[in-house]
Amino acid sequence: MTGEPQDDCLFCKIVAGQIPATIVRETDTTVAFRDINLQAPTHVLVIPKAHHKDAAALAAEAPQLAADVLRETQAVADDEKLDSYRIVFNTGSGAGQTVWHAHAHVLGGRGLEWPPG
Ligand code: AMP
Ligand code: ZN
């Protein structure tokens, strides 16, 4: 069923507490934790607790949950005192997606070039 935890999913394991992560925020429906491979002074991933394979699937299958994730990106930015930041949803392997559980990268704390690479 859509949204059910997947045995082979790294981020479902973080949600379940089976893999350690530096969690910075948690709500009933979301978890936010620091990326292990920082691309900026602030680099936090916000994920839905439920498994959806990417941002598009999340928005189609659980729009309220997609809104929860977006709201949490702003909460992370507030906690980190960022007035400018970037939200990235890599979608598809050609765009750099490596974990197939929807996640928002929140990047900030340095100047961010536009367009991105
Ligand atoms: P993406 O490439 O957009 O799918 O993003 C996946 C992100 O997950 C990458 O930035 C990785 O550095 C990050 N990542 C992978 N494993 C972990 C982990 N155990 N804890 C925190 N972040 C992770
Ligand atoms: Zn998952």
Give pLDDT tens digits for 32-91: 999 999 999 999 999 999 999 999 999 999 999 999 999 999 999 999 999 999 999 999
Residue 42: predicted pLDDT: 98
- pTM (predicted TM-score): 0.98
Q: What is the rounded average pLDDT of the residues 106-110?
A: 98
Residue 117: predicted pLDDT: 81
3-state secondary structure of 67: helix
Task: Locate 3 and state its tokens.
Answer: 């949204």
- Fold of the 10-108 domain: HIT family, subunit A (3.30.428)
What residue ranges do the domains of the chain occupy?
10-108
Q: What is the rounded average pLDDT of the residues 102-109?
A: 98
> In testing the pocket of ligand 1, which one of 8, 22, 33, 37 has its CB within 8 Å of the most ligand atoms?
37
The DSSP bridge partners found for residue 32 are: 25, 46
Banded model confidence at residue 1, pLDDT cuts 50, 70, 90: low
Ligand 1 centroid, distance to 33 Cα (angstroms): 10
Q: Is 43 a catalytic residue?
A: no
Q: Which amino acid is at 24?
A: V
Least confident stretch, 1-5, 15-19, 111-115:
1-5
Could you say which of 51, 52, 101, 103 is catalytic? 103
| Shortest-distance Cα residue to atom 17 of ligand 1 | 36
Q: How far apart are CA 114 and CA 56, in angstroms?
A: 23
92 lines ligand 1 (CB under 6 A): no
